[in-house]
Amino acid sequence: MPPTESRARKTGRPPRQRAAATRDELLDKAIDVFVRRGIQAATLRDIATEAGVTPAMLHYHFGDKQGLVGAVVEERVLAAIGALHAELGRPEDVAGLMGTFARAAMAIGHRHPWLPSLWVREVLSEGGALRHVLVERVAPMIPRRIAERFSDAQSRGELDARLDPRLLVVNLIGLTLFPLAAAPIWRQIFSADDIDEPAITAHTLALIGKIAETSP
């Protein structure tokens, strides 16, 4: 019997729906803890306490911590990034591709506010637990694919020859994910609580538009 059965029975939902809902809630709580404490430092007991359940509940749904982290990667991180990948399938010129990436990346960051912070902590920081996810799963799907399209455009004379297509991808990521991840800091530095999510997106798109104008 699942540890939540007696509590979930009160909701009136079918058992499978109750189990799925409980599992989703546990994934959300795990992400909250991972963002604050880091994946390596966080324990199942930490997450269970945050969720108001016993560690046995996590073991029931995920087996162990490795299983929980794997579920977060597959069902949250890669699912969110997959939405970005889907937006990049249309044939576009350089300016269109840059704009599509920026709009999609900012929208995903706003929809999943934990993603930029988790990415900085667990992918970019040395020793991050999810760096392999970027190298093995995300890189072929998005960064390398965009760089190849920039390179093709450059060979057709549509992109300034002084620009490195690979670094241009790095620049795009810096213009989109980093402002969201660092928002608590720069909002405090500049007393910028008036800058909301649509304003950040509009600013980024305007800046990218200026960059695109430098291309032939």
Domain 72-213, second-level architecture: Orthogonal Bundle (1.10)
For residue 169, which amino acid is it?
A: V
For residue range 47-81, list pLDDT tens digits in order.
Answer: 999 999 999 999 999 999 999 999 999 999 999 99
Q: Where in the chain is the domain with CATH 1.10.357.10?
A: 72-213
- Give mean pLDDT, residues 106-131: 95
Portion of the chain with pLDDT greater than 90, in percent: 83
Which residue is it, tokens 């538009």? 209
Model pTM? Answer: 0.85
Structure tokens at 51: 């969720």
CATH of 13-63, one of 1.10.10.60, 1.10.3720.10, 1.10.10.10, 3.40.50.1820: 1.10.10.60
Per-residue model confidence (pLDDT) at position 13: 53
CB 69 within 8 A of CB 75: no
Q: pLDDT class for 215, splitting at 50, 70, 90?
A: low
Cα–Cα distance between 183 and 171 in angstroms, integer?
18
Cβ burial of 68 (10 Å; 0-12, 13-18, 19+) is buried
Q: Where in the chain is the domain with CATH 1.10.10.60?
A: 13-63
Decide if pLDDT at 116 tops 50. Answer: yes
